[in-house]
Amino acid sequence: MGQDQGTAGAAVTEAKDPEQLREEIEETRRELGDTVEALAAKADVKARMHEKVESTKESVTQKKDELLGKARDSSPDSVSAGASQATQKARENPVPVAAIGAFVAGFVAGRLTKRS
């Protein structure tokens, strides 16, 4: 209505040769194939869940290794520090340590003599 037929759509200024049209069609087919492949990958719920599970396993394994490494790094130091601290306390207070040792020895001896 009031529009000229020549201005309603895209203007065709030159005719394309058949070979150029074939190349454009092939390119469009390749692009469409890529798009369909991408959509199929997104729609494959089973594969996406498998990827998510593998990713989570990898993350958990990494965290586990990190925590075990921290535990290994801190354990020997804390044990040796605790032993050193106990040794220092025993040197500073030999009487209570000797009393505790005597009590433990008496307890063990009492247990052993009851069994016989």
Q: Tens digits of per-residue pLDDT, 50-61?
A: 888 898 988 888
Residues 86-111: tens digit of each pLDDT = 778 777 877 887 888 888 888 888 88
Across the chain, how many H-helices and E-strands are there?
Answer: 3, 0
Give the span between the Cα atoms of 90 and 83, in whole angstroms: 10
24: CB partners within 8 A, 6+ apart? 16
The stretch 59-84 carries a mean pLDDT of 75
Show the domain range for 110: 18-115
Q: Judge contact between 61 and 54, C-beta under 8 A.
A: no
Q: What integer pLDDT is reported at residue 73 of this predicted model?
A: 67
For residue 5, being part of any structural domain is answered with no
Please report the pLDDT score of residue 79 as a whole number. Answer: 63
DSSP string, 72-97: HHHHHHHHHHHHHHHHHHHHH-HHHH
Number of domains in the chain: 1
Examine the pLDDT at 12 and tell me if it is beyond 60: no
For 93, list phi and psi in degrees, rounded to 5.
-130, 75
The pTM (predicted TM-score) of the whole model is: 0.33
| 11 belongs to a structural domain | no
Q: What is the Cα–Cα distance from 108 to 116, expressed in whole angstroms?
A: 13
Buried b (16+ CB within 10 A) or exposed e, 51-62: eeeeeeeeeeee
Task: For residue 93, tell me if it sits in a domain.
Answer: yes
Would 109 be classed as within a structural domain? yes
pLDDT value, residue 11: 47
